[in-house]
Chain A
Amino acid sequence: MRPFTYVRAQDAAGAVAAVAGDRDAGFLGAGTNLVDHLKLDVERPGTLVDVSRLPFDRVEDLDGGGLRIGAALRNSDLAADPRVRHDYPVLAQSLLAGATGQLRNMATTAGNLLQRTRCVYFRDVTTPCGKRDPGSGCSAIGGYTRYHAILGTSPSCIATHPSDMAVGMAVLDPVVVVLGPQGERRIPFAQLHRLPGDEPERDTVLEHGDLITHVEVPSYPAARNSLYRKVRDRASYAFALVSVAAVLEVEDGLVTDVRLAFGGVAHRPWRASAAEEFLRGRPATEESFRTAADAELATAEPQPGNAFKLPMLRGAVVAALRDLTNAATTGAGR
């Protein structure tokens, strides 16, 4: 591990200035992902600016409804917040589906969003990886691809974004509040994470020195009938093979509102806009749900090792929407 200087940030502006002014510096949150990467030599910062104790550790009510979630709030505290549990079950469930109790007690909102892929080649510095070492190619293509992407891939990278929480957030259309060297910016959540293209080293649109301070989730009453369904290789503590975040509103048997996002299948949380568009106004039946999933998966380009994700994701979409239809019909989702 490369030696580094550790600085505990006193305020957000100072932290941004310290990192922005030094190409070799980075932010440290809880470190659950970064410290692992330091040990693996995947990350080699010269200076770490610890932002985990900055006063962004609360959930506040927004004027006019919605929640302002602090970037340094721990995942377990966000999942346990009664407003999140009641008004945004998809977010609480996605948080609780991720990692373990110890890790959720440590991990922060912003750290969760900015965690790196668990692609084994990215984590192994003895293999080429364009995400870790720009321009060096992709070892996953033609390699072991069970956990890799099927949507939005590029010849440069087929890594997946590992977060569950980010998939739960994707259906809530939040705004990510960022403090940069030039001041504050508000980035729609859907624009935060990137597809790999020919720059797989860039996970997000953030620039060096940009610090996420809050995530603002707008009021969205339909989200009371929402859920997160995760399919994985064991019952607990495993990354998603596929996952589905869903919000559904049904009236007189017809879909009046629906939002869908997928995890484990792309370089970013995958908002399933084609499936949503197909479903609006259609009967809330398994046949509609299956056709909607197929519409979204029409552009999928699986690898030999992960073609199983297509039927798995189709099944997860149908199951999630069927459960939400039942809940909407019985009123259990209110």
Chain B
Amino acid sequence: MGLLTMAELPGDIEISAVITVGVRHADVAALYRDYKAALEGLQRTYELIFVMDGRFPDVSVALEDLQRQNEPLTVVRLTRAFGESTALMAGFERARGRIIVTLPGYYQIESGEISKLVDALSAADLAVGRRWPRAGSRFEALRRASFHRALGWVTGLRFSDLGCGARAMKRRVIEEIFLYGDQHRFFAILAHRQGFRVAEVTVRQSPRDRFEGRYRLREYAHRMLDILTVLFLVRFTKKPLRFFGMIGLALAGTGLLLLLYLIIARLGFAQPLANRPALLLTSLLVVLGLQLFAIGLLGELIIFTHARDIKDYQVDRVIQFHSEAAQTTSTDAEQERIAAP
């Protein structure tokens, strides 16, 4: 199912709030009233869409109760936990507003701060929240800072709270962005790569935003993988051979040099090879290098054969002024071109 087109939009809703409910969720009835009050405060037409990422009987009951009380909300139930990215996409499919606000299914920011995010859209396509001042120990702050520093080093972008699920965006963002896997966390980075203007907005953290569980080893591994994922997205997807080829050539080159040295030592100076693993090491280096190189080439082959689908640029608009004569007989093709104001 695709996004609703303009023609299907009944009435004109200005703001769609998409709330994803995952394993970690607050009492949704209270959350709903909280968010609703904040949206009322914006003085614009709005809708609320709850996306349940998995089966949560307590949430189901609470939301059904609300619907029975004729509260204006849409509930999307996913049959299993697909992950937040897919839940967001499912919510976006139903969103009708010109502005889309994503909110987490638990208390993360003071709901009154939503207006700040929406206001920031006057100068940006996407506004992501940054919880500040932030509760938590100094160690947690350090951990967060180093994660974002590493991401900044990889992408060249400075974000300081990618874990914040509160965002506001213009409709064009959801029309173009495609999230899968764990990519919701890189929403801001992906949007920036798509050419959108992204702003980070300082919002007050909710006092109830406390992560009860311990930060286990698994979480650390996940964050490391996140960084790797972004590294591949940024460095690899466009120029695979530059990435793999350099590493591969370096490894194979080192291996070949060592191999040469071993052969000379064996033949010229009668140094025995048999009781040393040196030959095995060099062979491994050469073969590993070759394989990395081959993988880079495969990547290039994929890009080459799909170059028509991969666009290296995003066009903001096309400007052409038609003379009056041409305007009266404008064809369909010409109407696609957006004339400047």
Partners in one complex: no
Q: Which residues of A contact B (CB under 8 A)?
A: none
